Amino acid sequence: MNKKRWLLATTILASVLGLVVLVLAQLTPQPGVTQANFRRLAVGMTEAEVNEILGEPRIPQIKQTGLAMGHKRVAWAGEFSLVISVFDERDRLVEKTCLEDPPPFVFRLRKRFPWLRI
């Protein structure tokens, strides 16, 4: 009887710990161009700090018209998102925009549960 309780307690504990690890893995920010990472950007961040969150810009040529003197526009493209940021002459973020096309439901399922065969 004592062995059965110990086995049950160990199984429950292992299950709970496994569930905690899975939840924490899902909650940590994933690198790249996403809506969640866009929300992490704050006015005043340096371009290097923005690059740490979004990665290196993937759009090499973007129009620089309509900007104040010394400002530059930089764009990052993700699978379903486009982030456009404006930096001042000190390379500080002064403006940010995110355009997003939500991924299809099946794609989100496959990304969250890669072992599923849908």
pLDDT per position as a tens digit, 28-74? 667 788 888 999 999 999 999 999 999 888 776 677 888 888 899 99
Compute the half-sphere exposure of residue 94: CA atoms within 13 Å on the CB side of its CA.
Answer: 13
Task: Report residue 85's pLDDT band, with 50, 70 and 90 as the boundaries.
Answer: very high
Q: Are 34 and 78 in contact (CB under 8 A)?
A: yes
- Report the pLDDT value the prediction gives residue 9, as an integer from 0 to 100: 86
Q: CA-CA distance, 51 to 54, in Å (whole number)?
A: 5
